Each structure stands twice: as C-alpha cells, then as structure tokens.
C-alpha cells in the first residue's frame, strides 16, 4: 500500500513536471516568456521539489521509527548492546 502511494505520488509529480515544461515551452514559442526565465522557473521548481523530498523522507523516517518503537522492535543499537553484554 505504501509503495503504491509512493508510485502514485511520483507518477503525478512526473506528469505535472512534463505539463509545466510543455506550457513553458509554448510560452517561449509564443514570445510571452524568454528562454532564460523559463529555465530559471524550472530550476527553482527543481530545487523546491528536492527540498520537499528531503523533508518528506525525514518525516517518513520519523513515523517509521515511532511505529517500530511502539511495536517494540529491537533496533540495531539494542542488538549491539545485547551482543556486547553476552561477550562479557
């Protein structure tokens, strides 16, 4: 389910990106926007998308961590601590 949601989100983002690029190219062809401004817009949108992706990943990681803690799943650190104690 989560994988499907991620794929849907990525697919939607790619479709939106393509549509925006098409619209910008049409504006450039009609002379309503110069090529540099169109490229600047695309570059800014790309940076914003990358920033939002980082924020989403950080939030998702925190949600997963909280869920695993609630479930009582042992972390890598928990296992390492137990292994150290067993070696003593």
pLDDT at 23 over 80: yes
Give pLDDT tens digits for 41-87: 888 988 988 898 899 889 989 998 899 999 999 989 999 999 999 98
Give pLDDT tens digits for 2-20: 677 777 877 788 778 888 8
For position 66, what pLDDT does the model report?
A: 92
Structure tokens at 73: 């799943």
- pTM check: above 0.75: no
């Amino acid at each position: 389910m989560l994988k499907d949601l991620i794929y849907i989100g990525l697919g939607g983002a790619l479709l939106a990106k393509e549509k925006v690029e098409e619209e910008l190219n049409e504006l450039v062809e009609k002379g309503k926007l110069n090529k540099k401004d169109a490229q600047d817009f695309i570059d800014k949108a790309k940076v914003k998308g990358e920033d939002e992706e980082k924020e989403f990943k950080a939030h998702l990681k925190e949600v997963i961590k909280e869920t695993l803690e609630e479930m009582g799943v042992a972390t890598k650190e928990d296992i390492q601590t137990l292994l150290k104690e067993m070696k003593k």
